[in-house]
Amino acid sequence: MIFFRIVKYLKYILLSHHRRGHGIHSPFVFDLVSRVFRNKIDPDIVFTVEQARMKLVADKRTIFVKDLGSRSELLKTNLKKVSDLARRSSVPLKYGVLLSNLAAEFGKPLIIELGTSFGISTMYMAASRDDITVSTIEGCPEIAEIAKQNFIEAGLKNITALVGAFDNILPDYAIKGVRPGMVFIDGNHRKEPVLKYFNEMAELSDSKTVIIIDDINYSREMADAWNEIKFHKKVSVSIDIFRMGILFFREGINHNDYIIRY
């Protein structure tokens, strides 16, 4: 799997457009890259979230871990230290900044996150603006409790934290007629579940929704899922930034796939 990621990364470096937007002919994508991708973030957001990360990385508690998708292959036992999990599962700072900028631009009124983990990505998105709600789902109760404590300590009141299996919770959004501004899928790393969750979120979405899928090059399975998803009938623009895939359903735009250096 490591060899697969190395090969994919080398291809990404060779094929990607410049991070400043050079060589991008779509006005929509050029504006996104030059304005949103490169937008500065409030330093207070970074300070608050990274303080929480530092606390997690120093946390030597052992917890019982349930349901980490294909990441469970890294676990020899279900008992793991919080510090080890925080290093492996939490979104890195630069991608947290991007999520925050995307949330500020597209997240209103609601962001749905599949896979809370310890809440680093959740906090980056929720802190971007206080007139959005982040509805986040985590399958592991012990991890979810730590995330909830992080939200309280960060003073973020616009987060709704749900605990349970995605398959049990996602139908409620459809029943309520939810139309998310943004969706972040990071709770499973197997092809079929990712395709299933994407399709469910695509059904809820309108032309203004952006869907972000994490770890699209984590494995051959995830790469296959991404290659299938980006040709979904509703997708007008797909952007591959190697770690994440970003999908837009914009009307009036011819279908295009971009690989952008980030």
Q: Which residue has the tokens 């603006």?
A: 129
Which among 136, 96, 99, 100 has a CA at the least distance from the CA of 116? 136
Beta bridge partners of 246: 212, 239
Q: What is the pLDDT of residue 254?
A: 86
Residue 185 CA to residue 113 CA, distance in Å, equals 6
Beta strand ranges found along the chain (DSSP E): 62-64, 79-81, 110-114, 133-138, 159-163, 182-185, 210-214, 237-240, 244-248, 256-259
Residue whose C-alpha is closest to residue 55's, from 163, 146, 160, 128 = 146
Q: Domains in the chain, please, with CATH?
A: 2-259 (3.40.50.150)
Residue 73 has a pLDDT of 47
Write down the pLDDT at residue 21: 60
CB proximity list for 200: less than 8 A, separation 6 or greater:
170, 174
Tens digit of pLDDT for each residue in 130-164? Answer: 999 999 999 999 999 999 999 999 999 999 999 99
Confidence category of residue 22, pLDDT binned at 50, 70, 90:
low
pTM of the model: 0.94
Q: Are 123 and 100 in contact (CB under 8 A)?
A: no
pLDDT, tens only, 38-69: 999 999 999 999 999 999 999 999 999 976 45
At residue 18 the predicted structure's pLDDT band, cuts being 50, 70 and 90, is low
Q: Could you tell me the pLDDT band of residue 19, with boundaries at 50, 70 and 90? A: low
Identity of the residue numbered 91: V
pLDDT attached to residue 78: 86
For range 67-77, the mean pLDDT = 51
Percent of the chain whose predicted confidence (pLDDT) is above 90: 86
